[in-house]
Structure 1
Amino acid sequence: MSQTSPFDRPKTESADLVVEGGRSPHPAAARSVTVPGDKSVSHRALLAALLPGAPSRLTVRNANLGGAVRALLPALRALGYRITADPDSLVVERGGPVVPQERRPHPDITHWPDDVPYLETGGSSAAARLLIGVLAGLGLPAVVDGDEVLRHRPMSWLIEPLAQLGADIVHLGEPGLLPVLVRGPVHRPGTVELTVGSAQARSGVLLAAVAAGLPATLRHPVRSRDHTERMLAAFGADLTEAAGEVRYGGGPVTVPPVIDVPADPSLAAFPAAAQLLAGDGELTVPDVCLNPTRLGFFDVLRRAGADIRYRDRRTGSSGEPVGTIVVRGGTGGVKEVRVDDPATLHALIDEVPLLAVVAATLPGRSWIGCAEELRFKETDRLATTAGMATAFGARIETADDGLLVTGGAPLTAGRVPSYEDHRIAMAAATLATSLPGRTTVCGGACHRTSFPDFAAVQRAVGATITEVIQR
């Protein structure tokens, strides 16, 4: 393996996804497909290499190699970690050469701090927020930045709680946004109140406390993804959880030399949805993370009548429950879906565009609520989901905090926008597999951000999807 790998060179061409629909993508015989490792667990596993108690060489097996995870690798190299990659794993080693990153120009900054590392994380909010937390815990001064989109996403959710624990973090541009300079560590034990249900905010503060060995209590308004808590508990962290809070008692953790990343349930949702839309046969997706805070898409559809089951459950090395998702039959008899509470919304927050297009094929009026946070993703995902679904002919209305989908409208293939948002693109292409004719998802190759193998996985279950380079 070499330090420079093909995974560090994202494709720069703009490409559409072209889907030839109208034929069942799944024959009646059972099919099985695998999907890449979980993006959220991959981020946390890579950052575990920075924690006190981590081995000098950490192997992360089955890491997600999409653009969002790869965005973290140059930042780690700029901190002096050697990263090597092959199709099955990423290896992070201390003591590598420091590989500085080029500073991204900023209209309000003429003089960057030149005595600390500059760490640019592309468009990955998880990479930026979790990295800020670890740096604040370790007391490592650095500038953390992102691309032009990430620079407009809120960071105060994280920075303010870290400041309550004593961290000295300065916004170099507009208040509340990237870039930020981490100048001083967290050093005051205490209790912080998180104002949002974001798992990234909670994880960033928790990682800071663990990196510093600092006792802290985090109170949060809603239960969301708990990958950080599960992973740190597997490392031996003194964690206790109660309704609305998690407590870390201080003390060391021990990071194992190998962390196995389970398959991503958010990615498994796409072939599962294609199976439901096809209407027959059986599909299995093995080795998937079955964390309850990630299964909202499947659980909501199960409650609506879809035949979706979990089997072969076990616990993986990252502390996550792992098993096989089984999808049988189609949407016949499946009624409208409802998402009425924040916990359910957070358990399917990345699958809202996909759930919306599936809902467009169901009878009745479906509601996906408590989703105001989606207005601050890579795009305003309430608006872009509605725009994409409307291009197919779906009847969908946006509210301040959700989407109202009226099923039964005739859906047709055609040209639909992706808004260069990977979740929107993949939802559109999945719906298109069930519609007669050709659908072009404009800019749909942005799926590489989280699911580089999206087209290949859908083809493996019978869909006809190709990428066409825009000239």
Structure 2
Amino acid sequence: MPEVQEFAMPATTSANLAVDGGRVVRGGAPFTARVPGDKSVTHRALLAAMLPGAPDTVTIRNANLGGAVRALLPAMRALGLAVETDGTAAGGGVLTVRRGAAPVPQPRREHHGVTGWPQDVPYLQTEGSSAAARLLVGLLAGTGTRAVVDGDEVLRHRPMEWLVEPLVALGADIRHLGDPGRLPVLVESPVHRPGTVDLKVGSAQARSAVVLAAVAARLPVTVRHPVRSRDHTERMLAAFGAGLTELERTVVCDGGGYTVPPVIDVPGDPSLAAYPLAAHLLWGDGSELRLPDVGLNLTRLGFFDVLRTAGADIAYADRRLTSGGEPVGTIVARGGLDGVTALDVDEPALLHALIDEVPLLAMVAAALPGTSRIGCAAELRFKETDRLATTARLGAAFGARVDVVDDGLLVRGGAPLTAGPVPAHEDHRLAMAAATLAVSLPGRTTVLGGGCHRTSFPDFADVQRAVGARIHEDTER
């Protein structure tokens, strides 16, 4: 048995999720479910409200109100922006950002390797949200706002040099206060040198941080990157009138102006739509599922496109554009996985188009015949967990044969899968992948610590129940 399949159930801090296999059928009408706003677009809309010249009040409609987005709000308040949340609004959450509020300082998290903390600058704690931290560093470097950006103990171990080095090359003074290449960092002075920077990784967060800095500073900058990944920052800023040109693996910022609108609309999150769609396919009862108002950005559709290529009946309908330049529409799935072949992810752009859904894709692959491969995924070692290793352990808990190989995962389908206790490793993507596979297995599955899904998808259980799942939070530990 491969070593990666040997594991002990980890300690958990979140509530468990209990999932009973089988679908609750409600007649012959299509199942319909709405997913929350896109987490990545919501982050960028909040940062847009902080750009120089933005309106005094910016309203973000259909915002994602999960923990990863909320992690950015105290940092914004520490910079003097009032942020109000409304999770009761029809059509999704609403965030309202107002300038000119009194700063609300955050308590500083101690760091054993840091001495001489700067006392005269805002301290911005982003907890476990890498997107909040990285994009915030870029914005501060563009506006010249002095501040310390920090995260929780997990985020402090994730790499930050990917974006700090190109920002420093553009003239910013940014210093790591603790471990080299890690948080916390002190942003002292802004980018000010035009030029060309080469990113070492295909991370959309790194590229977005540099583009945000260049646009905020109105600095002509060319950003070269090794692989195409999600382009929400470029789309949003271009929709606001910023002069951006996208070439092959290159973004050119002309240093011109832009106009941030008072209202920004966020599409439904395709990464969250993947879970009800996967549950529907795993049931395979011949019914139809419709997921309206979901973002159809090509850099985010990898999960659906891989399944379509393998033979799943998935289509896109009702296409249109949001005010932020994002394509949206309805995802329609019919039937199940009969006849679907093994899955193959073999090039970096495709991997980045489904990077958040890798644990889910691996669980779906475990239910298919044949051997599936998910490659080009070394970056997943630096997520909330080492998602290659923890995905393999999750699969093993179900009885699947999932191995870490080179820069990815090899899933040997056909093994009998069984319900039972499985670990989420306090990683929201693993928790939701586990609960989704569990809907198709006889018996009860307990996803240990599965309540961590609130990081990105607070309504996960509600949405899965809307499409027929039998799932609830189990607070008995």
TM-score bucket (shorter structure): over 0.9
Secondary structure at 1:34's aligned position in 2?
A: coil
Change (3 A) 1:362 1:13: closer
1:10-49 residue pairs with structure 2 within 5 A? 14-23=14-23, 28-49=28-49
Q: Is the 8 A contact 1:13 1:470 kept in 2?
A: no
| Aligned equivalent of 1:169 | 174
Moved more, 186-195 or 86-95: 86-95
Task: Give secondary structure in 2 for the equivalent of 1:299.
Answer: helix
Partner deviation per Cα, 1:66-102 (whole Å, 9 max, x = no partner): 0000000000000000111112310000001210000
Q: CA deviation at 1:318?
A: 1.1
> Which residue is 1:111 aligned to?
116
Kept in 2: contact 1:309–1:327 (CA 8 A):
yes
Between the aligned partners of 2:283 and 2:14, the Cα distance in structure 1 is 29
Selected match of 2:365 from 346, 359, 363: 359
Out of 273, 276, 282, the residue aligned to residue 281 of structure 2 is 276
- CA distance, structure 2, for counterparts of residue 412 and residue 346 of structure 1: 30
Structure 1 contact 233–239 (Cα < 8 Å) conserved: yes
The 1:152–1:261 alpha-carbon spacing in structure 2 relative to 1, beyond 3 Å, is same
Residue 23 (structure 1) shift? 4.3
Candidates 378, 400, 405, aligned match of 1:399: 405
Query: 1:293 aligns to what?
Result: 299
Equivalent in the alignment of 1:92: 97
Correspondence 1:267 to 2:272: yes
User: Given residue 113 of structure 1, which amino acid in structure 2 is its aligned partner?
Assistant: P
Distance 1:17 1:451 in 2: 14
For residues 156 and 470 of structure 1, the distance between their equivalents in structure 2, rounded to whole angstroms, comes to: 42
* 1:26, distance to aligned residue in structure 2 (A): 7.4
Amino acid at match of 2:62: N
Partner of 2:225: 220
- Given that 2:22 and 2:470 are in contact with CA atoms closer than 8 Å, whether structure 1 keeps it comes out as no
- Which whole-Å CA distance do the structure 2 matches of 1:110 and 1:174 have between them? 12
For residue 390 of structure 2, give the secondary structure of its aligned residue in structure 1.
helix
State the distance in 2 between where 1:53 and 1:236 align: 13
Pairing partner for 1:460 from 463, 466, 470: 466
Distance 1:27 1:77 in 2: 48
Check whether the contact 2:170–2:195 (CA below 8 A) recurs between aligned residues: yes
CA shift for structure 1 position 470:
4.2
Match of 1:7 in 2: none
Matching residue of 1:350: 356
Aligned-pair Cα RMSD in Å: 1.1
**Structure 1, residues 89-125: CA drift from partner, whole Å, max 9, x if none?**
1000000121000001111124311000000001000
- Partner residue of 2:51? 51
Q: Return 47-56 or 255-264, whichever deviates more.
A: 47-56
Paired letter, 2:225:
H
Partner of 1:79: 79
State the Cα deviation string for residues 369-400 of structure 1 (Å, max 9, x = none). Answer: 00000000000000011100110000111113
Q: Any conservation in 2 of the 1:192–1:217 contact (CA below 8 Å)?
A: yes
- What pairs up with 1:51-450 in 2 under 5 angstroms? 51-87=51-87, 88-280=93-285, 281-450=287-456
1:13 CA drift (Å):
6.4
CA contact (8 A) 1:52 1:252 kept: no
Offset at residue 462 of structure 1 (A)? 1.1
Tell me the SS of whatever aligns to 1:236: coil
Gap regions ≥5 residues in structure 1? 1-11
Residue 26 of structure 1 contacts residue 461 of structure 1 at CA under 8 Å; is this kept in 2? no
Superposition deviation, residue 441 in structure 1: 0.3
Gaps of 5+ in 2: 1-11, 88-92
Structure 1 length-normalised TM: 0.96
Tell me: CA distance 1:26–1:111, structure 2 relative to 1, closer, same or farther (3 Å).
farther
Say how many residue pairs are matched: 460
Deviation at 1:299, TM superposition (A): 0.2
Identify if the C-alpha distance between structure 1 residues 321 and 275 changes in structure 2 by more than 3 Å, giving closer, same or farther.
Answer: same
Asked if the contact 1:284–1:324 (Cα under 8 Å) also holds between the matched residues in 2, the reply is: yes
92 and 432 in structure 1: CA distance in 2 versus 1, 3 angstrom threshold: same
The AA in structure 2 aligned to 1:330 is G
Task: Determine the C-alpha separation between the residues in 2 that align with 1:149 and 1:270.
Answer: 25
Q: Could you tell me whether the CA contact under 8 Å between 2:14 and 2:426 is conserved in 1?
A: no
Work out the CA distance in 2 between the residues paired with 1:156 and 1:98: 29
Give the 3 Å change call, closer, same or farther, for CA 470–146 of structure 1 in structure 2.
Answer: farther
2: distance between equivalents of 1:306 and 1:30?
A: 17
| SS at structure 2 position matched to 1:324 | strand
1: CA distance, partners of 2:24 / 2:223: 48
Counterpart CA distance in 2 for 1:109 and 1:48 is 31
Aligned-residue offset at 1:461: 1.1
Q: Residue 191 of structure 1: CA displacement?
A: 0.1
The secondary structure found in structure 2 opposite 1:50 is coil
- Assess, with a 3 A threshold, how the Cα gap between structure 1 residues 439 and 380 changes in structure 2: closer, same or farther: same
**Counterpart residue identity of residue 406, structure 2:** D
Distance 1:253 1:23 in 2: 49
SS of the residue aligned with 1:42?
A: helix
Equivalent-residue separation in structure 1 for 2:476 and 2:73 (angstroms): 28
